[in-house]
Structure 1
Amino acid sequence: MSTDDPEIPGRPLGRRAFIGLMGAGLSSLAWGGSALQAASSASSVLPAAVRDAIPVGGQWRIYAVSPPYPRFDAAAWHLSIEGLVEHPVRLDIGQLRALATVSQTSDFHCVTGWSVTGVKWGGVRFDQLLALAKPKPEAKAVAFVSAEQPYVDTLTLEQLSAPDAMLAYDMDGRPLTREHGAPVRVVMPKMYGYKGVKWVSRIVLTDQPQDGYWEQRGYDRDAWVGRSNGV
């Protein structure tokens, strides 16, 4: 079935809000911690567009680089695993969900300074998924291509071996909604959210990582929470 969400325009990009905070002299808010607790009062001095883009109180803010959000049609959607693999794979949503499902609860951190704690994810681990395609010895990284063009980001195979790395199709006990990346998205709890590619349509194994959409615009390739992007 297709998602029946109404047309959703998407929100301003997180980097715009971050730059606005920098201009307002509130750059510490971008990195969370105790400074974020001051946002509710400090944000009253910000321009309206910036104030609207910075969440306070653990609420999601959904960003898009090319709104509106992509639509998911289960009858037509396939996930391809290709590139430096022995056996290219093409899975429909039923075949993907038939793989062994794992679940976890983890926090989500955005580089612009907000977090959502205790998110319940369900999906598959990357080692199980990639084993279907049998990566070639020279494969060192994976590019995740989003249906939201031109969004793409890469992670190394070593990073994807983290015990909490996941290709998720459920969130908080329900299938991903359109705005959260249906049908599948990358979950990397130890990294900032821009590495969590939404609306994934292709997984391409490569011989080295490449700069993704936000890295090409100044963010760090390795987006470890608290250890990158100026922290």
Structure 2
Amino acid sequence: MKDEQRLGRAAFLGVTVAGLSSLVWGRSAWEAASGILPRSVGAVLPQPTSGWRIYTVAATMPTFDPETYRLRVDGLVQRPLALALDDLRALPVAQQVSDFRCVTGWTVEDVRWTGVRIRDVLAAAAPLPSGAALSFVSAERPYVDSLTLEQASLPDVMLAWGMDGRPLERPHGAPLRLVMPRMYGYKSVKWVERIVVTREPVVGYWEQRGYDRDAWIGHSNSA
């Protein structure tokens, strides 16, 4: 556990310095990277010219079947839900342009996101008064992170299925990812398959390894 707790920022920076910035996403790059990275960071693979760095914590990225995918919404709710992609797209569509900032220092500016606001996903589930936080569970085990209901209700927080005018791609979290522009990128959970309404925020994957729970840009994990 102590070794994992030391990873955090140092692990991200270390593997980047190690030369992964020269890799192009693909099977051969994945196989090459998987043999040299710490177990807690599966890959740091750039997409050429885009500025993105693709971080994973599992041996492989999740896959999904668009016909059978369901977003489960449960926990402290009156009506648990299992939403297909068509159900999500039938909700009011949200679009925004916002920057994506990683705690390790890189930024992708003016990302165009398309998706749905959290409040519209939760409306049919009707959270109970005792529910004060949301856990976002990724299909990439064991990744999970959380926001308070107040944080999730901010006007630029969303669940995105599209990016820059195209369907969300697998490395960016398809079919559905959380977008929280006011916090560092590790809060924007990819491959979301479940939202759990809870009494208080859970301790997320990177928070278990020393990162701040409230990852406000400029006010946490910046030292």
Distance 1:76 1:198 in 2: 18
State whether residues 45 and 54 of structure 2, in contact with CA within 8 Å, keep that contact through their aligned partners in structure 1: no
Partner of 1:189: 181
User: Could you say which structure has the higher strand fraction?
Assistant: 2
Q: 2:51 aligns with which of 25, 36, 59?
A: 59
Pairwise CA distance, 1:122: 0.5
Partner of 2:12: 17
Mark the structure with the bigger radius of gyration.
1
**Amino acid in structure 2 at the alignment position of 1:48:** G
Question: TM-score scaled to structure 1, two decimals?
Answer: 0.79
Give the alignment's Cα RMSD to 1 decimal: 2.4
**Unaligned residue ranges in structure 2 (runs of 5+):** 1-7, 24-43
1:78-157 paired onto structure 2 within 5 Å: 78-157=70-149
Pairwise CA distance, 1:75: 1.4
Does 2:199 correspond to 1:203?
A: no
Distance 2:176 2:9 in 1: 21
Partner of 1:68: 60
Distance 2:45 2:93 in 1: 34
Does 2:169 correspond to 1:177?
A: yes
Distance 1:185 1:64 in 2: 14
Cα deviations across residues 73-117 of structure 1 (Å, max 9, x unaligned)?
111110010000001111111111111101000000001110000
Pairwise CA distance, 1:210: 1.5
Pairwise CA distance, 1:68: 1.5
**Unaligned residue ranges in structure 1 (runs of 5+):** 1-12, 22-42
Distance 1:202 1:54 in 2: 26
Distance 1:15 1:125 in 2: 33
State whether residues 83 and 204 of structure 1, in contact with CA within 8 Å, keep that contact through their aligned partners in structure 2: yes
Percent of paired sites with the same residue: 54
Cα deviations across residues 34-93 of structure 1 (Å, max 9, x unaligned)?
xxxxxxxxx9xx543588759798610101100321112111110010000001111111
State whether residues 144 and 205 of structure 2, in contact with CA within 8 Å, keep that contact through their aligned partners in structure 1: yes
Question: TM-score scaled to structure 2, two decimals?
Answer: 0.81
Cα deviations across residues 173-198 of structure 1 (Å, max 9, x unaligned)?
11100111000000000000000000
Distance 1:206 1:101 in 2: 26
Does 2:61 correspond to 1:77?
A: no
**Amino acid in structure 1 at the alignment position of 2:131:** A
Number of equivalenced pairs: 196
Partner of 1:31: none
Pairwise CA distance, 1:228: 0.4
